[in-house]
Structure 1
């Protein structure tokens, strides 16, 4: 998430939103043919939650779902994703999404019913975009999409403008609209500037990970084939892991298998960062801005340098955000940090301004400037 300003924060969602989604986490161990299903919070379908042998679980499914489930589990490999409807013998319907993780486990989410779907008018919710700069040559690598609310007076507002009142930006359902606007912008930029190979990163909350409508929209956007796989990226914070590590890993595995890339945001802000790093199939990390601002002290510099080397050894990129001046850029370049983001380079801008920004930067690049 952007950190040059503390006003830009992830949407804050209560545990009630997770319960309302009626989502279970599941994990299958091929070697033992063992299946574990558990709810996120309060029980969702007690009759299927718990630890099962696959052979004991299959009689709970209807006549068509059992063979489909077995076939899907048998065919899956590291590059495939499970996404199939299932029915219980008592008539309840579900949707199962998942993929195989590096540890050999097959895990994901089980949506017992569609989460409540919120919609927002494009005239109200508007994505703005902050450039992410490639540190090696100063070129634009991509953007982070941030949510703003267009008031009746035409002013763009963010969460801090709603002090003392409910902010429309706290509605987790707006993630669907943010994903849509971000994907549309990304598709246009790939059409106009294919040589730049841009990406767009969108923040998701812990609650968004467990919403059926969010995963469905991601599937639709990727399937439309308007931009390359993995150029739409999702920023995940460690706070998701702190609340329920196993569930966060299951959700992230399902997301990554759908054709989006994952970036670990605010890396270094909590005690489980290394566990999160080892379990999530991410393409990059973003340093926690508070850590970035401490650069220049021996201990912090050693930490940032070591974390960068670790990320690169895992074929992950590193982004330093919250860069408000150029004092720390030379150090970040010396440790081979890949990207920087912050007010020193550019403020968040509307989609139209972002296109003009791309045109101007591309023109300078073509002139060799």
Structure 2
């Protein structure tokens, strides 16, 4: 461009009453990387740089005299005008801002960073300079990072951090929280694959979002846990949370089609309410954080109770649940010290050959005599040991005590008896289990064939391949193994055929209906199955003479229960075995022990 158009332009600007841009400024603007506008104080355009024209595909000459703010997004326009005026106040320096820009041709909205500089009194410009840079890509990248930081990648739902911040911001309202934990997701991952598990999670997220509608915020907290947040007036929130939790549990229960098959998972839900805080009060921020933590804790306590009750249900928080959790935490701490304090004992319950009437083995069972609470039941402290991570120490203690007693029990019996020790699912999957068993056997000089390790059906199916590998290694030591509580889990012939076990312990629940014709048929079927696989069957929980006879008639090999003997301290167990050895067995194959 030569100077004549600029001269004509200057004359045109003067007639319009606009600031005149000198040819030297035009030359500078032509080289500038930023898009440059020059306007008057009201935003009327006096100059557009070539780069501005190219960026927005505009005719720079046709826009002269038009309002630059017309291209600013309506929601940002008033603020942009005010900032331009601030930049022109006496003594003010440049003012930086960022606003949205409307691309008239396409309707696209883009972001622009702008620096307003007052040059109305400078020679060569005499106007307000807008230095503009398109910041859309940077802003979108930043928003993507923020979204990733605050949302779950798999489902797109808000994550734990986002939900926590949302809760903390709602100090002036009652908050209701539903924590939802999926039951059976790990089994889906193991059976069908992790991609199928991801499909289940995504489908669950869709269902929960649909159920919540616009009444709740849905978030995914971790692998199998979701949360729903409701805000409002206290009574309304309480009712909404109760209804919402039930609807969510029902929605999750519906089958999900993944990989050409139908998969079913269930969910347990815990609910809790948090009343509004004292907004604006001193320490309100700390109070909000405390309220959020308490709300999460209460809902988690309720969720734990729902899972403990079998899942697929809703449990609301209560103070009693919290007290019970505190008591369990205290009990767990005491359990860690119980071994060293000498509070744990091992007792032995006889195993009886139903046909011969003789004691063929004993099962080692642990007992805890708490100094203040008295006897703590095993069904309380054993799950507690698993939860608290002390089950390994507890299991090692029982194994050591039982193998230490083998030689004394054998001396009393006059012949070898089998000593059974229970393994938890946690122990079964520990890499040091087999070395621990081998070392304990060697330390006590006990024959491996004298030891039977019992694992529950549920522990085995948790990770079938790993369990099978461990059982094979135990068998290579010469140790026998038994599948405990058969019938309480999947009771699948396909996995039973793959497991290297020697004995099948039938859960007591099958004996409850043994007097019924169908109950006997079921028990007979299990016994026949075990016999066909070369397994010894052990019926647990025999408490009456009638049940003992029916179990024997059904084909079970061994029996165990109060009908024969209660768990006995080692000295009493030795006496029991000595009496049996002295009698050479029993005249009646279904004898009642004198120590029962």
Deviation at 1:169, TM superposition (A): 10
CA distance in 1, matches of 2:461, 2:435: 25
1:239 aligned partner: 458
CA distance in 1, matches of 2:444, 2:576: 25
Q: Does 1:187 align with 2:435?
A: no
Show the counterpart of 2:547.
328
Cα distance in 2, alignment partners of residues 184 and 249 from structure 1: 27
Structure of greater relative contact order (alpha carbons < 8 Å, 6+ residues apart):
1
CA distance in structure 2 between the partners assigned to 1:161 and 1:292 by the alignment: 24
The aligned counterpart of 1:39 is: none
Contact kept? 1:222, 1:258, Cα under 8 Å = no
Aligned to 1:209: 428
Say whether residues 1:348 and 2:567 are aligned partners.
yes
Contact 1:147 1:158 in 2 (8 A): no
Q: 1:139 maps to which residue?
A: 358
- Return the match for 1:311 from 511, 530, 536: 530
Aligned equivalents of 2:498, 2:462: Cα separation in 1 = 15
* Cα shift at 1:224: 4.6
Per the alignment, in what secondary structure is the counterpart of residue 201 of structure 1? strand
The alpha-carbon distance between structure 1 residues 128 and 168, as it changes in their structure 2 partners (threshold 3 A), is farther
Tell me: CA distance 1:161–1:185, structure 2 relative to 1, closer, same or farther (3 Å).
same
Q: Provide Cα deviations, 1:225-265, integer angstroms capped at 9, x if missing partner.
A: 73333220011111113322222222222222222111011
Find out whether 1:158 has 2:377 as its counterpart: yes
Query: Where does residue 474 of structure 2 map in the other structure?
Result: 255
Contact 2:475–2:481 (CA<8 Å) still a contact in 1? yes
Match status 1:220 vs 2:439: yes
Root-mean-square deviation (Å): 3.1
Task: Tell me the number of residue pairs that the alignment of Structure 1 and Structure 2 aligns.
Answer: 252
Deviations 1:291-317 (A, max 9, x none): 122112222212211221221222211
Q: Which residue of 1 aligns with 2:498?
A: 279
CA distance in 2, matches of 1:305, 1:128: 31
Provide structure 1 residue ranges, at least 5 long, that are not aligned to the other structure.
1-41, 43-116
Counting only pairs closer than 5 Å after superposition, residues 290-309 of structure 1 correspond to structure 2 as 290-309=509-528
Structure-2 change in CA distance of 1:290 and 1:151 (3 Å) = same
**Partner Cα distance (2:439, 2:561) in 1:** 31
Alignment-derived partner of residue 178 in structure 1: 398
Change in Cα spacing, 1:207 to 1:167, as seen in structure 2 (3 Å) is closer
Please give the alpha-carbon distance, in whole angstroms, between the structure 2 residues aligned to 1:300 and 1:366.
30
User: Helix, strand or coil: the match of 2:501?
Assistant: coil
CA contact (8 A) 1:158 1:169 kept: no
Deviation at 1:155, TM superposition (A): 5.5
- SS in structure 2 of the partner of residue 337 of structure 1: coil
Instruction: Give 3-state SS (helix, strand or coil) of 1:257's partner.
Output: helix
With over 3 angstroms needed to count, the CA separation of the structure-2 counterparts of 1:123 and 1:284, relative to structure 1, is same
C-alpha change, 1:148 and 1:190, in structure 2 (3 Å) is same
Q: SS state of the match for residue 323, structure 1?
A: coil
Partner in structure 2 of residue 361 of structure 1:
580
Distance in 2, Cα, partners of 1:144 & 1:274: 26
Separation in 1 of the partners of 2:451 and 2:545? Answer: 28
Q: For 2:341 and 2:350, how far apart are their aligned partners in 1?
A: 22
Q: Distance in 1 between matches of 2:564 and 2:359?
A: 10
- Structure in which a larger fraction of residues adopt helix: 2
- Which one has the largest radius of gyration? 2
Give distance in 2, aligned partners of 1:154 and 1:240: 30
Alpha-carbon distance in structure 2 between the residues aligned to 1:160 and 1:222: 28
What is the CA–CA distance in structure 2 between the aligned matches of 1:267 and 1:169, rounded to whole Å? 23
Structure 1 position 203, deviation (Å): 0.9
CA distance in 2, matches of 1:366, 1:303: 30
Q: Judge conservation of contact 1:159–1:167 (CA < 8 Å) in 2.
A: no
State the alpha-carbon separation in 1 of the partners of residues 545 and 577 from structure 2: 21
1:314-368, Cα deviation, whole Å (9 max, x unpaired): 2211111111111122222223311111111111111111112112222233796
Compare 201-210 and 148-157 and name the one that shifted more.
148-157
